[in-house]
A and B are shown apart, each in its own frame.
Chain A
Amino acid sequence: MRIVIGQGSCGIAAGAEKVRKALLTTDIPCEDISITGCIGMCYLEPIVDIYDDDEKLTRLVKVSENDAQKIAEFVRTGSEDAVKELFVSEEDKEFLSKQTRIALRNCGIINPEKIDAYIEAGGYQALRKALTQMTPEEVIEVIKTSGLAGRGGAGFPTWFKWNAARQAQGEEKYLICNADEGDPGAFMDRAVIESDPHNLIEGMLIGAYAIGAAHAVVYVRAEYPLAIKRLKNAIEQAKEQGIIGENIFGSGFSCDFMIKAGAGAFVCGEETALIESLEGHRGMPRLKPPFPAQSGFWRKPSNINNVETFANVAWILNNGGEAFASMGTEGSKGTKVFAVTGKIKRSGLVEIPMGKTLRDVIYGICGGVKTDKDFKAVQMGGPSGGCIPKSLIDTVIDYKALGATGAIMGSGGMVVMDESTCMVGMAKFFLDFTAKESCGKCIHCRIGTKRMLEMLDRITKGEGKEGDIELLEELCYSIKDGALCGLGQTAPNPVLTTIKYFRDEYEAHIKDKKCPAGECSDLIEYKIIPERCKGCTLCSKNCPVGAISGTVKNPHTIDTDKCIKCGKCYTVCRFGAVVKE
């Protein structure tokens, strides 16, 4: 008998640690109460897994600390009645059973704070094999066979980068892991580090061996304190076991390991900016060429991959490149992890083979839109990506196919939107993001994103004018052509895709001064439908400007001249009497 509580950041935020502490205060007859990382069913957190002596799993979801006694009773007596309402449903079980987990294979299963748990799960065998039985060139060959491509966004073949760094002149080389997961809406890298840090370490050490680097560096964003903590712990344990350090597994290969925390700059996900930041400078991209493979960290040959990429490496070495390549499409091999969020019923981490469709993910696994409104679009690739409309939901998950829509595979963020999301507002949201995150070095990005944001802002305020869409498009193409780094070059994508698929929405804002989604506060009016209003006065009490009048039990009215369109009445009304037009 053992009890495992999911304690990724999400789980903890949902109250998992409180649950654990509460369980410890009960008389629960179980010595082995431990934690695991992120199970990926974020919408069901906190999750408590109870394994009986035969390792049969009973999964309890949406547990609160108040449920501790009931759980204790269940464990003590075996009586299911006490916890029946906490059982994970059959439907929810499908969320996991329909997935194919490689990068996430240990996530939510093993204890991320114990190296033994990783080793027990077959960990570090791939490293041992590589170091003791394979040449670096053979390792690169396996990766080449696997077809593994960069999971950070660009999808560049991993073997090619490794080989370039391997071939680069110079004794001193660096292997760098980009864990600066900045795309808003993506959190798979955080999950991997929090839930299976040794998998990352193993993948990185294999990479270091392949390119001939004696130094491995992880650049983690500062917003992930738990990930940093668990990774540090894992590094210490690996050092103790001789897995990091001199002469690893007696192979003669040595590699040290270092964590550097970012300090809040999205642009540091761009590899040359990341290197600048690692060196302690402002994270401003360098000109390429020279590429990092020739001149990177401290101007030495360096290879950079992201977390999810490394998380696949050990599996590939264990199972062979062909096994990985057997999944997916012609151009995209293996699996991909998606962080599905937004207006979605089952939100969390989904790992599936390439070649499935967006529909498989959004409807098949995640259960579709959670509201009563219609599915409208899915945003992929964050600020560098785009919005894919409902009509393209059968698009295959494949670098090329997704790219053809104007969006990108990206790091795997999928933000689902329903009819209540304004697409101009969405474009503005991303431009606001990129404008804030622009490092300010090149003209196109520094000023161009700001000017796009100003234009979008005017449009959402009803101040758009004829020709704005064309001007936006012109600016978009110029920025794509002229910006220095990936951040700037892809910054126009959210605008271009929303114009491409939702041009009518832009036109409605500009010509009719209307927001079809009812989201742009300057273009909507709040009204109370008298028939529905019960006169509860809640709206008038909550109105910050006293724009609502009416007496108890009588229909209220909104003075539209006074109304500041904050939407509070709309939110608080329990009868659906407040509507926006």
Chain B
Amino acid sequence: MIHLTINGKAIEAPEGSTILEAARANGIDIPTLCYDKAVEIYGACGLCVVEAEGIPKLLRSCSAKVSEGMVVNTESDRVVRSRKVAMELLMSAHDGDCIAPCQLNCPARTDCQGYVGLIANGEYDAALKLIKNKIPLPASIGRVCPHPCEKACRRKNVEEPINIAQLKAFAADMDLKSDSYLPLKKAPSGKKVAIIGGGPAGLTAAYHLSVLGHEVTVYDMMEKMGGMLRYGIPQYRLPKEVLDQEINIIEKTGVKMKNNVKLGKDFTIESLRKEYDAVIVAVGAWKSSSMRTPGEELEGVYGGIDFLRSVIKGAPYDIGERVAVCGGGNTAMDACRTAVRLGAKEVYIIYRRTRNEMPADALEIEEAEEEGVIYKFLTNPLSFNGENGKLSSVTLQIMELGEPDSSGRRRPVPVEGKTEEIPVDSVILAIGQKLVTSDVSELALNDRGNIIADPDFFTTNIEGVFAIGDATNRGASIAIEAIGEADRCTKAVDAYLNGIELETRIPYISKRDESTIDYSDREKKPRFTPKVLPADVRNKSFDEVSLGFTEEEAKAEASRCLECGCREYYKCKLLNVAQRYEIHPERFKGEMPQKYSHDENAFIERNTAKCILCGLCVRSCREVMDIHAIGLMGRGFKTDISPAFSLPLDQTKCNNCGLCVSLCPTGALTEKSKLSKQVPLDEQYTEEFVEIDGKKSSVMVSRYNGKILRVIPNDEISRNANLSRDELEALLK
């Protein structure tokens, strides 16, 4: 035995063993990408370098042998520096998306590609489970979300983005129609959490924390849970029955819900803090913002959400026949379309820019117009005029678009002396909402009047009190933003409750340069939008406007997905090493060595743009299988791995043994799953055994949601048996 020291730990290793073997045998992890016991040592990746005292050069631990008295450091500054640059260089030449842009652009990081793909495959329950990992209110959110995911969807470069939001609603509706999914809960932790506010943020936090085994109580000032989803969004867009069902499921996970209790009146943060191990403040922003326009105090001038709430509570304000709604966002849309449904004859939208700049969803703008809403673009209220304290008209300043402002939108500027007066019975101000600061007097606020919460950990000035959602930092935003914060906050709270420190570094992921992507080979398939009630029916009724997807429609729409995210994401060794250190490959941005390409046979798919040239596939095909289906072609930066003469894999001697795929450290070689849409999923792999020609043989079986997705040969017998994957699977039974 040889005696050496690795990272200060005295170790014994058999003579002739490598430093890597010695380290791994002693639980010391040295990253490698081109090393595997099955094949000869290659030394290409250079990630396994270590520093040994007295040796000036870094040693590749995969090949350097241990020697008596050796003192090795596997994580010295020099080693880490070398590995970082190696990874930065490698990732600068790795052309792939770890995660699809839709998911990246979702504030809650919902796995859109995952559930869209599962819907395409008809796996609705699996899709729903995936969604619920992030969003406990998917039927509601699917209906109301302004879907940032769709803005990032690359299908827009072919024709139009996938209808991701409504597909989510579809999967959730399917779940609500039958035995709804209830997540498996962790064992009780014995910890108690109070959540103030039962809106999307509070409910999401409650759900996740409950699943994590904590005892959760939600306090809410209204008579029912749901917050802005219930009191800010009209029935025709989100039927409250749907919301009730979803809240019911959250309650079933064990969340206790207390309504009609108000912070500052019935309890204080301080009082909750004494009773609970942690408190999350998710009170939202319930006060309509003022426009500071003369005449706002007149009778007939209402706040947008106040108006919507009055309608939902069944006691609508008297708005008369002529209504002007100020604002261009979704709340303004909700207000004007509600006014139409209440019977107003003339409903105006007063908006200081043009249709193109309106933040509201395009479909909403269109549907409102169909329902008779009149747009007054490039106008801004100058004054609300009235007699005897009662509103009678509004004077509008005519605007025009000037230079772009910091948001990139052109700034509206008044046209000197040009005004217009329109007679109105009521005005609804839908330009934003604010926190009622008196409710949270115990917490520190920023100069915008919002609660200061740590952007990573959501902590406030009071120990053990966290804050999320519309009430915090930058103020009111969309529901999915609050849900995302709630999701991340629960991790922080869970860590806090368990006394663990959370890492804040955002792990590196690989992203493709959008400008280099070619879509010319994609067949055009138009986006499908579910049917809606006819305008002349819906403008008189609060029935839900959208009729939703049928199963066939949903599958067809989901099948349009371009599958941007890498299906090897969950087991990518390359990504794992890339995330080990903080790396910045953009420093070395340059030409990509290979074009995006596609070659597949029945079981294996190749994409050389993701290849890192570790050579494991070529070497295993040659050294282990003696098949030589693929080889290294060319040299230098442009080295490529392919069959001779660039033939497709199908025209080689490849016997689909799958060894190359199982050794590929990244997504350059993938084993297709049985799903028709190949979805990146966190599959569970187990080694199982089958009998082939009377001999026991090992196979790797991957399962997801209880179903077998892949069966991969795992030893000499199964690799050489030339059996199809279906035949192997049949042997399992």
Binding site for B on A (CB under 8 A): 265, 282, 286-287, 289, 435-444, 446-451, 454, 471, 474-475, 478, 481-484
Q: Which of B41, B93, B591, B613 contacts A287 (CB 8 A)?
A: B41
- Chain B residue numbers with a CB within 8 Å of A265 are 635
- Of B44-52, B367-375, B475-483, B601-609, the segment with at least 4 beta carbons within 8 Å of chain A is B44-52
Q: Contact: A451 with B46, CB < 8 Å? A: no
- Quick one: closest A residue to B64, CB to CB? A289
Question: Known pairs A448-B85, A478-B82. 4 more at Cβ < 8 A?
Answer: A446-B637, A447-B92, A481-B82, A484-B46
Q: Contact: B60 with A287, CB < 8 Å? A: yes
Q: Which of B43, B93, B632 contacts A447 (CB 8 A)?
A: B93
Q: Which of A287, A438, A451 contacts B42 (CB 8 A)?
A: A287
For the complex formed, measure the closest distance between the CB of B725 and the CB atoms of chain A, giving whole angstroms.
33
- Report if B86 contacts A (CB, 8 A): yes
| Among all A-B residue pairs, the 4 with the closest Cβ atoms | A440-B639, A478-B85, A287-B43, A447-B89
Q: Contact: B46 with A282, CB < 8 Å? A: no
Given A446-B613, A451-B590, A482 and B636 contact (CB-CB distance below 8 Å): no
B297-313 interface code vs A (CB 8 A; 1 in, 0 out): 00000000000000000
- Report if B24 contacts A (CB, 8 A): no
Q: Contact: B44 with A438, CB < 8 Å? A: no
CB-defined A-B contacts under 8 Å, sample of 11:
A289-B65, A438-B635, A440-B639, A441-B615, A442-B45, A446-B613, A450-B590, A450-B636, A451-B590, A484-B43, A484-B46
A287–B43 Cα distance when bound, in Å, is: 6
- Chain B residue numbers with a CB within 8 Å of A451 are 89, 92, 588, 590
Binding site for A on B (CB under 8 A): 41-46, 49, 57-58, 60, 62-65, 78, 81-82, 85-86, 89-90, 92-93, 587-588, 590-591, 593, 612-613, 615, 632, 634-639
- Chain A residue numbers with a CB within 8 Å of B43 are 286-287, 441-442, 484
Q: Which of B41, B62, B90, B590 contacts A454 (CB 8 A)?
A: B590
- Chain B residue numbers with a CB within 8 Å of A481 are 49, 57-58, 78, 81-82
- Chain B residue numbers with a CB within 8 Å of A439 are 635-636
For the complex formed, measure the closest distance between the CB of B509 and the CB atoms of chain A, giving whole angstroms.
19
- Quick one: closest B residue to A458, CB to CB? B590
- Chain A residue numbers with a CB within 8 Å of B65 are 289
- Chain B residue numbers with a CB within 8 Å of A441 are 42-44, 613, 615
A111–B635 Cα distance when bound, in Å, is: 40
Q: Contact: B639 with A474, CB < 8 Å? A: no
Given A450-B637, A481-B82, A443 and B46 contact (CB-CB distance below 8 Å): yes
Q: Which of B44, B82, B85, B591 contacts A450 (CB 8 A)?
A: B591
- Chain A residue numbers with a CB within 8 Å of B588 are 447, 451, 475
For the complex formed, measure the closest distance between the CB of B260 and the CB atoms of chain A, giving whole angstroms.
60
Given A451-B89, A474-B85, A435 and B46 contact (CB-CB distance below 8 Å): no
Given A287-B63, A447-B92, A451-B92, A442 and B590 contact (CB-CB distance below 8 Å): no
Q: Contact: A447 with B587, CB < 8 Å? A: no
- Chain A residue numbers with a CB within 8 Å of B49 are 481-482
- Quick one: closest B residue to A488, CB to CB? B46
A440–B635 Cα distance when bound, in Å, is: 5
Q: Contact: B46 with A482, CB < 8 Å? A: yes
Q: Contact: B60 with A282, CB < 8 Å? A: no
- Chain A residue numbers with a CB within 8 Å of B41 are 287
For the complex formed, measure the closest distance between the CB of B635 and the CB atoms of chain A, giving whole angstroms.
5
For the complex formed, measure the closest distance between the CB of B605 and the CB atoms of chain A, giving whole angstroms.
23
- Chain A residue numbers with a CB within 8 Å of B82 are 478, 481-482
- Chain A residue numbers with a CB within 8 Å of B587 are 471
Q: Contact: A442 with B634, CB < 8 Å? A: no
A481–B89 Cα distance when bound, in Å, is: 14
For the complex formed, measure the closest distance between the CB of B606 and the CB atoms of chain A, giving whole angstroms.
18
- Quick one: closest A residue to B94, CB to CB? A447
- Chain B residue numbers with a CB within 8 Å of A449 are 637
- Chain B residue numbers with a CB within 8 Å of A436 are 636
Q: Which of A437, A448, A471 contacts B89 (CB 8 A)?
A: A448
- Quick one: closest A residue to B65, CB to CB? A289
Q: Contact: A435 with B637, CB < 8 Å? A: yes
Q: Contact: A438 with B636, CB < 8 Å? A: yes
- Chain A residue numbers with a CB within 8 Å of B92 are 447, 451
A444–B590 Cα distance when bound, in Å, is: 15
- Chain A residue numbers with a CB within 8 Å of B46 are 442-444, 482-484
Q: Contact: A282 with B45, CB < 8 Å? A: no
